[in-house]
Structure 1
């Protein structure tokens, strides 16, 4: 589904793919974390080690599918994983997740209930909401000559000025844009609606420089006017607010959310639960967000982040904006309809 998404949400770096840890290396006072690339502040892991004397081993993956394939392929050394909400539901169906009762822990009171989004875990008995964000438009206002408010505004502007922008090389995200521009839900599997979405994206292609994740440097340099990208690009906006902007399109946007889950096969379940409890502390969630520029479900943590993050409505959308956000669901067999539409988009001249 969403290849490399986690790796590029925050710092735009390519995720490392690390081999599974041999079960023999899993010692009593170790914790083996398997996370998206660059999706956790190393300072968080260091603090946990200092407080608990538990050694943390971090391995990374670049997509939900890569992580699931590794677990299903027999990797037994991992304790904690960070699936997106729809992948958590898939893993629950496959009986891969441990029931932790984290919702009974005192720190769970800090979690905003609206982020208990997994259909398989509506009360938070298994996993802890970890981080969330939006997928919008990073743009160079110097090149565009203006601020933009959404997709239609961007497209009209690049057409008038003969400019280029990029789209993510991601089937669900790109077709999601096409669906939203036509007033449809991003999880629609209706063939007619997907056909319409594909045609909408194909109409953009003369102004699309590439389908890519490597667009941030091109926006910064002005080589392209804008890029379909994750809110983690706010790190660039903070660095050059005069020239760069990020907008959650007025037509709507997708949001992502990852949750922290303990695997049923985890060799260090007690240590994994200690880490999950540790992460409910507002100061720890805030430390992570300060480096990631993602949103957090930990409500008091938001007030502990630096002012530029705390006051950013791009990172912390208003309630009104939240109503315009949609999150991907597991489509099951319906995903084949997306495959057909995506093939049409990519092969159209």
Structure 2
């Protein structure tokens, strides 16, 4: 969920050092969610070539794995999907929590209920989901209310093609927790979204280019939008809505079907280094659970209140949990939302 989640349609292959690499490590990650320099550095040090395929949602990743995709070593699920993958028996035990350097990880980011000792996965990155907007078209906006008002005023807006994130807005706006399993609350949240679809031109992840070009006034998107804000600060801005928003966290997990589990574990250990986590943040512009890495990231990122929010803002952020069978409540309402557009 996360971060600059632009789904790519082709595999990115990072060439190893001169000569053929003896091993290959295959990553399956959110689109544009890892700095290629991190992968280059791993290959340079180990001689292990890295391939990268990308996905746009947790559900897409899970469906591909369950459909029999067996070539991937590492996936990057959100915390609630980490729990689901564990319950399905898809995660390999790595004992990363016992590895040298794991003391760098802030304990509050060991969030998966099924992995309280980090025996399986490594906390990878975190951030929030808010609004990226075109300044000329939207003015200065600060809330979900103002976001949807753009649509009612004839402007074009987009929301994420993600049932938890989009229904989550409705839950926030109707005063319910984003992990509600109360049918009435989930229905009321979906009602809110249906009632505010005016101006919504698409449910999509590929929104930021449209905001930059002015094709849409604002989009529901990830904090990774700051990558684009940095290059287009006169045109676009990113905001955490004042009513609250969702917090995401992705973990780095090795699959039980991993063809090269030893190389995968080496990569997890490599990513424990503060300088490597900081290198990723430098390009990704999201939060890292690696405490010493926070002293190595550029000041313009560390001081950005949408990337590292003050505590009173963090207190208004909610993270998704695995809902089990109750997710069907959301599936039903999501179908209603999508057909109402």
Instruction: Tell me the TM-score normalized by structure 1.
Output: 0.88
Partner residue of 1:136 out of 130, 134, 139: 130
Alpha-carbon distance in 2 for matches of 1:79, 1:214: 27
The Cα offsets for residues 97-139 of structure 1, whole Å up to 9 and x where unpaired, read as 1222211222111111111110001121211001112110111
CA, structure 1 residues 66+148, in 2 after alignment: closer, same or farther (shift >3 Å)?
closer
RMSD: 2.2
**Structure 2: runs of 5 or more not aligned:** 13-20
How far is 1:157 from its partner? Answer: 5.6
Contact 1:102 1:125 in 2 (8 A): yes
How far is 1:36 from its partner? Answer: 2.4
Q: Secondary structure at the match of 2:101?
A: helix
Q: Secondary structure at the match of 1:206?
A: coil
Alpha-carbon distance in 2 for matches of 1:218, 1:83: 27
The Cα offsets for residues 24-65 of structure 1, whole Å up to 9 and x where unpaired, read as xxx963322222232211111111111122222333333323
Partner of 2:142: 149
Contact 1:293 1:309 in 2 (8 A): yes
Alpha-carbon distance in 2 for matches of 1:200, 1:140: 24
CA, structure 1 residues 158+32, in 2 after alignment: closer, same or farther (shift >3 Å)?
closer
Partner of 1:29: 23
Contact 2:7 2:55 in 1 (8 A): no
Contact 1:135 1:248 in 2 (8 A): yes
Alpha-carbon distance in 1 for matches of 2:255, 2:94: 10
Paired residue total: 333
**Structure 1: runs of 5 or more not aligned:** 19-26
Partner residue of 2:202 out of 199, 210, 232: 210
Alpha-carbon distance in 1 for matches of 2:219, 2:65: 33
Contact 1:28 1:268 in 2 (8 A): no
Partner residue of 1:47 out of 41, 45, 53: 41
Asked if residue 175 in structure 1 is aligned to residue 167 in structure 2, the reply is yes
Contact 2:91 2:253 in 1 (8 A): yes
Partner of 1:91: 85
Alpha-carbon distance in 2 for matches of 1:307, 1:176: 32
How far is 1:198 from its partner? Answer: 1.6
CA, structure 1 residues 52+14, in 2 after alignment: closer, same or farther (shift >3 Å)?
closer
Partner of 1:23: none
Partner residue of 1:77 out of 64, 71, 77: 71
Alpha-carbon distance in 1 for matches of 2:62, 2:191: 32
Asked if residue 256 in structure 1 is aligned to residue 248 in structure 2, the reply is yes
| 1:1-349 pair list within 5 angstroms | 5=1, 9-10=3-4, 12-16=6-10, 29-145=23-139, 147-156=140-149, 159=152, 161-348=153-340
Alpha-carbon distance in 2 for matches of 1:169, 1:65: 11
* Deviation larger for 58-67 or 110-119: 58-67
How far is 1:252 from its partner? Answer: 1.1
Alpha-carbon distance in 2 for matches of 1:330, 1:299: 27
Contact 2:56 2:205 in 1 (8 A): no
How far is 1:273 from its partner? Answer: 1.4
Alpha-carbon distance in 1 for matches of 2:92, 2:5: 30
How far is 1:152 from its partner? Answer: 1.7
CA, structure 1 residues 228+31, in 2 after alignment: closer, same or farther (shift >3 Å)?
same
Alpha-carbon distance in 2 for matches of 1:45, 1:157: 41
Alpha-carbon distance in 1 for matches of 2:201, 2:24: 46
Q: Secondary structure at the match of 1:134?
A: strand
